[in-house]
Amino acid sequence: MAIEIERKFLVNKRKLRGLKFFDEQKISQGYLSQHPTVRVRLTDERGYLTIKSSTHGISRNEFEYEIPVADAEQLLKLCGRNVLKKYRRKIFCGGHVWEVDFFAGRHAGLILAEVELNSPDEPLTLPNWVTKEVSLDKRYFNSNLVGSKEKFHS
């Protein structure tokens, strides 16, 4: 069983200027189910189907499988309006790889940074470009953002 242990933060866009990002991806992800969360994701070159359990603190079970791109495209159509679009850039900082998501569409202007940990109590040095931790704020779960009419900003 795969366990995802993740912390999530709002980001100050101005403080990102000049940083060295790598592995930029354009991502479309839709949700077929909320409980459990069943997500389909399409990146520039790959498709994925992911199943996630309910979150307990900052941990949850996660099962992710690569699927053919054509299948991901068809599954995204089944999601209708429940599709998020974002750009993901990665940065190495403080001994961790951080994934920084720049949202498009309804949530344009929202920037979230996520970092995966090996344990919930693993020490983490926060970079100066993160502002507020939102790991436990369910409004910032991608599966909730997709259906939210609320406008979020970093």
Give residue 35's pLDDT: 87
Check: CB of residue 83 under 8 Å from CB of residue 104. no
Asked if residue 1 has pLDDT above 70, the reply is no
- Rounded-to-integer distance, Cα 152 and Cα 110, Å: 6
How many CB atoms sit inside 10 A of residue 3's CB?
12
Please give the average per-residue pLDDT across 102-129, as a whole number.
95
How many CB atoms sit inside 10 A of residue 129's CB?
21
Summarize the chain as % helix, strand, coil (round to 5): 15, 45, 35
Q: Name the more confident of 25 and 56.
A: 25
Residues 6+ positions from 3 with CB-CB distance below 8 Å: 59, 60, 61, 62
> 3-class DSSP state for residue 81?
coil
Give residue 152's pLDDT: 72
Give residue 59's pLDDT: 92
Closest CA to 142 of 34, 12, 65: 34
> 3-class DSSP state for residue 29?
strand
Q: Which domains does the chain have, with CATH numbers?
A: 3-145 (2.40.320.10)
Q: Is 31 among the residues known to form the active site?
A: yes
Tell me which of 31, 48, 87, 140 is the catalytic residue: 31
- Check: pTM over 0.75? Answer yes or no: yes
Count the alpha carbons within 13 Å of 27 in the hemisphere toward its beta carbon.
20
Please give the average per-residue pLDDT across 105-110, as a whole number.
91
Reported as a pLDDT band with limits 50, 70 and 90, residue 153 is low
- Rounded-to-integer distance, Cα 87 and Cα 105, Å: 11
Give residue 40's pLDDT: 98
Give residue 150's pLDDT: 75
